[in-house]
Amino acid sequence: MGNAITYRMAAGVPGAVNRVEHATILPELIDASTYPTAYGTFVKLVTGKIQPVASGDAGAVVYGVLVRPYPTSGNGTDGLGTSTPPTSGICDVLRRGYIMAYLKLGTAAKGGQVYVVTTAGGSVSVGDIVTAASPSGGGTGVAVTGAFFTSPADASGIVEIAYNI
């Protein structure tokens, strides 16, 4: 008898682009005074520079999703999906395509609307990805224009998002 596979492989890494043939990715300058802190998060463009979504922003301000570089010359001891973006310089932003992200709260469904938290509260912080405008953990989310889930999240909360497709 063979051994049974008891664990599922992770769906992906936050910020990793899937289905690259459909992706439009642009290099953008990071705002060193207000920089994104995680890959696979929504960003906005302010005076020509990338910033994370902020408290009180509307879903329509989203410019794209921060892309994890691969291969990377960063710290070789970073665990899978734990790398942090640089605080200045150039980064890649997905303007159109499919990308992996961390779902903080809710149950994603194929075709379901993606929300980003713009008012922190309870277990959610500004910038977290959720499945509702009023997540059960508290806070407030806004619908991200053109962003939809392609499937449920895996056991670690990693989910694929279709953006501007």
Q: Cα(23)–Cα(11) distance, rounded to whole angstroms?
A: 18
Tell me the pTM: 0.88
- Residue 53: per-residue pLDDT: 97
Q: What is the CA radius of gyration of the chain?
A: 16
Mean pLDDT of the chain: 89
- Residue 5: per-residue pLDDT: 54
Q: So what CATH class is 17-163?
A: mainly beta
Q: Cα(106)–Cα(120) distance, rounded to whole angstroms?
A: 15
* Average pLDDT rounded to a whole number, residues 21-50: 96
Q: How remote is the C-alpha of 114 from its chain's centroid?
A: 10
Q: Cα(58)–Cα(56) distance, rounded to whole angstroms?
A: 7
Classify each residue of 59-88 as buried b or exposed e, where b means 16 or more C-beta atoms within 10 Å of its C-beta.
bebbbbbbbbeeeeeeeeeeeebebebeee
* Average pLDDT rounded to a whole number, residues 76-102: 84
Q: Cα(90)–Cα(49) distance, rounded to whole angstroms?
A: 10
- Residue 58: per-residue pLDDT: 95
- Residue 20: per-residue pLDDT: 87
- Residue 78: per-residue pLDDT: 57
For residue 136, what pLDDT band results from cuts at 50, 70 and 90? confident
* Average pLDDT rounded to a whole number, residues 58-83: 74
Helix (H) or strand (E) holding 111: none
The domain segmentation of the chain, as residue ranges, is 17-163
Percent of the chain, pLDDT > 70?
A: 86
For residue 84, what pLDDT band results from cuts at 50, 70 and 90? confident
Q: Cα(41)–Cα(36) distance, rounded to whole angstroms?
A: 8
